[in-house]
A and B are shown apart, each in its own frame.
Chain A
Amino acid sequence: MKSPKIVEELKPFFEPKAVAIIGATNKKGKVGNVIFENFKRNKEQGIFKGNIYPVNPKLDEIEGYRVYKSVKELPDDTDLAVIAIPAPFVPNTMREIAEKGIKAVVIITGGFGELGEEGKKMEEEILQIAKENGIRVIGPNCVGVYVPDTGVDTVFLPEEKMDRPKSGSIAFVSQSGAFAAAMLDWAALAGIGIGKMVSYGNKIDVDDADLMDYFIYDDSIKVVTLYIEGVKEGRKFIEAAKRITKVKPVIALKSGRTEYGAKAASSHTGSLAGADVIYDAVFKQTGILRAEDFEHMFDVAKAFAKCKLPKGDRIGIITDGGGAGVMASDAVAKFGLKMAELSEETIKYLKEHFPPHAVAGNPTDVVGDTDAQRYKHAIEAFVNDPNVDAIVVIVLFQVPLLNEEEIIEILADYAKKSEKPIVAVAMGGKKTEYYAKILEEKGVPVYPTPERGVRAVAGLVHYTKYLEKLKEE
């Protein structure tokens, strides 16, 4: 099957055959140096498989790589250009790129529309060259693209200052470069896998809608996260969002309330329609889940990346601490979910396998003297109970008789074989964090509080409900 146009157009950004780094330099800490070093490092590690062509009229070679004096000299296999030269030189370089026939350009350089009229004019000029020559542009004023699987890394923050996250099935799209960089660094620490990151900055061309369309066809991506400050082409955004949410979940974090809401309106409706309620409407209408903050966004994304979708909204809670169970139950109500009513068989099974002081119910409390096997009985019963759609297992690793490795194996095993989503909540300190990380690497999303665990499940449930509504039509 022939790939859709958008896939053909954007593919060089994510898996180029050869990348030209325009403005590459040997001066440490310079943007053109960091980007060059990123590609070089990934090439040496066998991750980046394409060719690297530094471009700089003043140099002959950088660290053993031949440097090209101009874009004209570049070999013909160049299919991606990364521009890191001062803004006034960019339009001319774009013309050379057009002549060379390169169709994908990332403009890292800032100093364009964000600074005023002069910069806006340059952006218009660049865009016109791009449109006339079928070139797609990411940026300007951005950190560009990060793809751990192919070694594309235009993030100009050096590796010794900013960790890169491992590969995963979450796509992360960010208008802000600083936020993108901070999130990548944080995701690396949190063990969250990112499949593709795009930060588009001033987005004169490639925007959220284009990327959503691309991700529809990208099998490595299971869930898309968006950090948005403002949408320029509203209708295009809505159409693309509706297309992708039919097949993949999208979670958006929207910041920045504009002055629009405060403007004088001559109707009642106008006075009530701030920009924020309009975004709310757009997200609801297109099935995009709206995140309250970045933790919420990645909590839900992690659940989509690792869990199956629930069939309904009835939640079963297993805990070894009564307080944590109550907190989880409160969260179930708060996020619009239901506590599952366990079947008689489940209650019977639990009572048979539990000591008299453990609580068979929802929440099921395996209590503080639990071992891993008591958890196993509870999870087994919940997995088999037709009244339970999703399971939240709270593990306070601190209890004395609980073998950490054993409970981790049990959870990982059920998470893999059960048709229901299973998330874990582990509250505690350093030791808990250590085990939580192992559990997560084995494919179970782990949350530091019951509330965040349940909120992540709520994201899964709301998306399931959206899909069901689509099917009803």
Chain B
Amino acid sequence: MKEEALKVVEEVLAQGRKALVEYEAKQVLKAYGLPLPEEKLAKTLEEAIKYANEIGYPVVMKLMSPQILHKSDAKVVMLNIKNDEELKQKWEEIHENARKYRPDAEILGVLIAPMLKPGREIIIGVTEDPQFGHAIMFGLGGIFVEILKDVTFRIIPIEEKDAWAMIKSIKGYPILAGARGEPPADMKAIVDMMLKVSELVDDLKDYIKEMDLNPVFVYPEGEGAVIVDARIILK
């Protein structure tokens, strides 16, 4: 059990909440060594500018509020911000959008993140079955999961061979293996993530109800992967 992860979970519960905001979910994931972008939570505009310069432009801004879980619906995600000037302007805009969407929204801060190089999109998820306990899900992101439901499940905890079997069992596997001249995706990185998620959920099984890591960008072999967005729902 990683104490840092449990601490985040307990704080959220203490506030009477069941859903972790992206930043909190990522703190839990970070405790288990899952691959995350270099992101920082800015509470003030000054902090935001400082962090954006540390990370290096262009950056992404995501407003964190327990009342706003569907960030794109509320228009509180701003992409491709190129300089301090634009950041200042978007800072106002993002707060205004939040207030319009939920006047009562409590704002924890704005997550400043780098613009990520696109990769092949996957989803890793967790759900709880009343008989068998937590199950991990794997699939390709976007239309593959939305429309084709090309996903596969295993009961947690999983072993390395289960993770490989999951990756190879989806219909979209050739996309990861390298279709149409693309290099193969970093499948070892996917296996590593799935094993870490399995460990995390097994440790926190009394707290976690559901989890989505969606999307996760996977890069070519040897270049790893990164979790772009994450949500965790507690029991």
Q: Which residues of A contact B (CB under 8 A)?
A: 230-235, 237-238, 260, 265-270, 272-273, 275, 277-278, 280-282, 284-285, 469, 472-473
Contacts and interface: CB of A to CB of B under 8 A. Distances in A.
B101 interface: no
Interface string B48-90: 0000000000000000000000000000000000000000000
B130 A260 contact: yes
Q: Shortest 9 CB-CB distances between A and B: which pairs?
A: A269-B125, A234-B132, A267-B210, A281-B153, A234-B131, A273-B127, A270-B127, A278-B129, A269-B127
Given A268-B125, A281-B153, A281-B155, A273 B137 contact: yes
Contact of B212 (A231, A232, A268, A472): A268
A238 B132 contact: yes
A272 B151 contact: yes
Nearest to A272: B151
A281 B212 contact: no
A190 to B, nearest CB: 32
Interface stretch (B4-12, B157-165, B175-183): B157-165
B206 to A, nearest CB: 14
Given A266-B210, A272-B145, A285-B158, A277 B153 contact: yes
B97 interface: no
A235 B132 contact: yes
Nearest to A266: B233
Contacts, number: 87
B135 A281 contact: yes
Contact of B231 (A231, A235, A267, A469): A267
A234 B233 contact: no
B126 A269 contact: yes
Given A281-B154, A282-B132, A269 B161 contact: no
19 contacts: A231-B131, A235-B132, A237-B132, A265-B127, A265-B210, A268-B125, A269-B210, A270-B125, A270-B127, A272-B127, A273-B137, A275-B129, A280-B153, A281-B153, A281-B154, A282-B155, A285-B155, A469-B161, A469-B165
B152 interface: yes
Interface residues of B, number: 32
A268 B123 contact: yes
B132 A231 contact: yes
Most chain B beta-carbon contacts within 10 A, residue among A231, A234, A280, A472: A234
Contacts of A237: 132
A272 B214 CA distance: 14
A269 B158 contact: no
A267 B158 contact: no
Nearest to A285: B154
A235 B133 contact: yes
A473 to B, nearest CB: 7
A277 B132 CA distance: 12
Contacts of B162: 285
The secondary-structure label for the interface of chain B is strand
B193 interface: no
B140 interface: no
B132 A272 contact: no
Nearest to B151: A272
A352 to B, nearest CB: 43
Contacts of B152: 281
A278 B153 contact: yes
Given A235-B133, A267-B211, 16 more contacts: A267-B127, A268-B214, A269-B137, A270-B127, A272-B127, A272-B137, A272-B145, A273-B127, A273-B137, A273-B153, A275-B129, A278-B153, A281-B152, A284-B154, A285-B154, A285-B162
B202 to A, nearest CB: 12
Nearest to B131: A234
Interface in B93-138: 123, 125-127, 129-133, 135, 137
Contact of A273 (B129, B161, B214): B129
Contacts of B131: 230-234, 278
Contacts of A282: 132, 155
Contacts of B153: 273, 277-278, 280-281
A277 to B, nearest CB: 5
Most chain B beta-carbon contacts within 10 A, residue among A230, A277, A280, A472: A277
Contacts of B165: 284, 469
A40 to B, nearest CB: 41
Contact of B133 (A234, A272, A284): A234
Contacts of A280: 153
B171 interface: no
Contacts of B154: 281, 284-285
Interface in B186-235: 209-212, 214, 231, 233
A260 to B, nearest CB: 7
Contacts of A231: 131-132
Contacts of B43: none
Nearest to A473: B161
A234 B135 CA distance: 12
B19 interface: yes
